[in-house]
Amino acid sequence: MSVTTAAADQTLCATPLPVLGRDVTVPLVTGGEVTYAALDYAASAPALQRVWDDVAAYAPYYGSVHRGAGYLSQLSTDLFENSRVTVAEFLGCREDDQVVFTRSTTDSLNLLAAALPADCQVFVFETEHHASLLPWRDARVTYLNAPRTPEQAVATLERALADRDPYGPALVCVTGASNVTGELWPVRELAAAAHAHGARIVLDAAQLAPHHPVSISELDVDWVAFSGHKLYAPFGSGVLAGRSDWLKEAEPYLAGGGASRKVARRPKEAGGGVDVEWHDTAARHEAGSPNVIGVYSIASACKALTEAGFDSLVARERELIAKVREGLAEVPAVKVLSLFGDDAPRVGVISFVVEGWNSSHFAAALSAEYGIGVRDGLFCAHPLVRTLLGSDPQTQGECGAPEAAPGEKSLNAIRVSFGAGTPDEHVERFVRAVKELVADGARWNYRTEDGRCVPDTTA
């Protein structure tokens, strides 16, 4: 790379990538309006402006996919299949890997769970998001305790795999970056451990892919799953990419048009019914009319992030992470949640609790009084959050936690998350708001409504 190009790249990514909603203003309960600070990227990231523009340019040409001979149908089919190629390149797929389009990470992992060979053993850490913790209901599942170091994670997996039946199929499911702590997991080392013991591994990259490059071939994982809505692409699409053999041998995830290559009636003397020949390509698990807009939006986001350059995106995000962590460290009442410790590499996802505050109340005050959107609760990772908070003497605050059962102490946290579209001002406002709330308290009264803490506007 020439000096001129490198300087241009640094200038390009010194500012956040343009996203939708960056100029939206919201009312404050204390009066006035403020530009909304979207700091809940780990749930759903705002759409990149580039993605929205690409979709808008295509929308007039929208047509049926794999179904028609007309020009728009042919154009849409080409766009759909070219999107598959783009995603494969983005993920560093091997030559014989398949890219299957789904609805989400959850859908992708349920698809893989449905494709497991008979008597497959599954190994999963209790630290996983529910999307990767729960789909394996029909398999023999071993749940592994939360590790406290990356090295312990590898050692725990190696011990569990060494004790398994060595002759049956096995699958390890692991996250790339925690949706609670943001910490990066040792994926390459876990993949090596899995393969050394004859197991396969699937990577939940929902929180990793928006922040770091993900290469199936370099990480040596067997499958990768992620969601478009966390990758700055709206419209409810996801991806399962990786080895094709288990997918080819499995029954179609959904039975219907598109998955079938040939359907024929049986004669009455043969018992009636129908004979079906299913596709052995990705189409086998993509029955029905596909979400071409969603698929194209994922491909557009993949291109946008690649062109922006992950090196620059990662460097800028590290600066934002440092601002947040340094600011929170200045507030003694704040405890940041972590498995691997302060020095562990992480993405822009940070969860914490505030002494003396119910987390639902704190998050509501951030929103109503400062125009800051964060997440509170257990983040669809209940075992992990309960492990991290289980020893804390949390008491019920003036606003109830939606996840707390009657009589149960409040074990919920606050999560702030950000990424390529986050302006510096948003994280600076967040840090300032945390300090003010802890020092001075909320300026408004709040009450519980339908399990949520909301501003009390009845007075």
Catalytic residue IDs: 380
Output the CA–CA distances (angstroms, integers) from residue 329 to 334, 354, 434, 435, in the order listed.
Answer: 7, 12, 11, 10
The answer to whether residues 223 and 241 touch, using CB atoms and an 8 Å cutoff, is yes
Helix (H) or strand (E) holding 184: none
Residue 183 phi/psi, 5° resolution? -70, 140
Q: What's the CA gap between 97 and 369, in Å, rounded?
A: 49
User: What are the helix and strand counts (H, E) for the chain?
Assistant: 14, 19
* Burial of residue 94, with CB atoms counted within 10 A of its CB: 0-12 exposed, 13-18 middle, 19 or more buried: middle
Report the alpha-carbon distance of residue 231 to residue 305 in Å, rounded. Answer: 9
Is residue 291 within a helix (H) or strand (E), and if so which, with residue range? none
Chain-centroid distance of CA 370 in Å reads: 26
DSSP string, 117-165: PTT-EEEEETTS-HHHHSS-TTSEEEEEPPPSSHHHHHHHHHHHHHTS-
Please check whether residue 174 is in contact with residue 137, taking contact to mean a CB–CB distance below 8 angstroms. Answer: no
Could you count the other beta carbons within 10 Å of the beta carbon of residue 234?
21
Q: Residue 19 carries which DSSP code?
A: B
Taking CA atoms, 29 is separated from 26, 37, 154, 405, 450, in Å, by 10, 16, 48, 29, 19
Q: ∠ CA 7-8-13 to the nearest 5 degrees?
A: 100
- Assess contact for 302 and 230: CB atoms under 8 A: no
Tell me which residue of 408, 376, 450 sits closest to 40, measured CA to CA: 376
Query: What Cα–Cα distance (Å) separates residue 55 from each residue in 17, 37, 76, 82?
Result: 17, 25, 12, 15
User: Does residue 290 sit in helix, strand or coil?
Assistant: coil
| Residue whose C-alpha is closest to residue 229's, from 248, 215, 209 | 209
Alpha-carbon distance of 334 to 341, in angstroms, equals 15
